[in-house]
Structure 1
Amino acid sequence: MKKTVLLVLVLFVLTLSSTVSARERHHDWSQWQYQDSNWHQAHFMSERSLPFKWHEHPDRFLAYKYKMERIHDRELSQRFPGLHAYKWQDKQGKGFFYNGHRIKDAILFYNDSDELVSVGFMRNGTFVFIRDDDRSYENRDAFFISWLTMMALAH
């Protein structure tokens, strides 16, 4: 009986540690530093409410449902080093909800392995940045307001 309990405990610990290490492999957030005083911790958001899953590749989105377009912008790349941005738009208008607000346009950030590691969008004049490690941040920096307004006008 003791051996069975010990075996189950060992399997549980191994499963837990592999899940944690798998999550850390997708993007090294420990190198991510918010030096700017405009960044503030935001509300928790369950990934279940998102229409995509963490670590999926950008080619997963169906063209008749979603519009995906790679963003090539030097200043955005400098603000989010190591991440590749895509403009995401829900063509059907369903989007997803964040604190009671429907989000139909967002920026999806992928790592060098083309795995989704974060999502950004505007909400009430604030840029919300949700990461795959269950942390999210908000920023009221004028850069995001002007940059996203410019992106909307360009399309």
Structure 2
Amino acid sequence: MKKWLYTISFSLVLTISTNIQAVDKIAIINIAQIFQKLPAREVAAKQLENEFKGYATNLKSMEKKLRNDIEKLQRDRSIMKTSDINNMEKNIMEQRETFSNKAQIFEMDNHRRQTEERNKILRRIQDAVKIVAMKKNYDIVIDTSTVVYALPSKNITADVLKEVK
């Protein structure tokens, strides 16, 4: 009976000590902070702005022409012929449809490219996290947004930020 009790106690001590050791191999990181401080994010934003600048300018000029035509129709409607009013209304409807389609395509392309650039940056951050975790022998790295409390010594955000840059 004593041997059995010793065996259970010894097993319990081993299990507890293993769990305590595992806690030492967990680090936390603030990915949002790294993402915000990363110079590559600003570079990507400027690149995207330049990439879509011509398209945005074209959409703005289309919108301005459409507004001018609508204002002209509203202003001159009383002195225009019925056929001219119908032609202008038809033209405005076509312009609206074209503008709407191009604006939708622009939004989809812009969103797709922003997602691509964000994912590239996040992959770089993830690679840096892996490198830092291996160097410091961490088994698990958890984002601070999912942790209620952790010791500041377990935070490797600054180390990852250095690695990413």
Shared fold per TM-score greater than 0.5? no
TM-score bracket for this pair, using the shorter chain length: under 0.3
Q: Which has the larger radius of gyration?
A: 2
More contact order relative to length (CA 8 Å, sep ≥ 6):
2
Bigger strand share: 1
- TM-score normalized with structure 1 length: 0.27
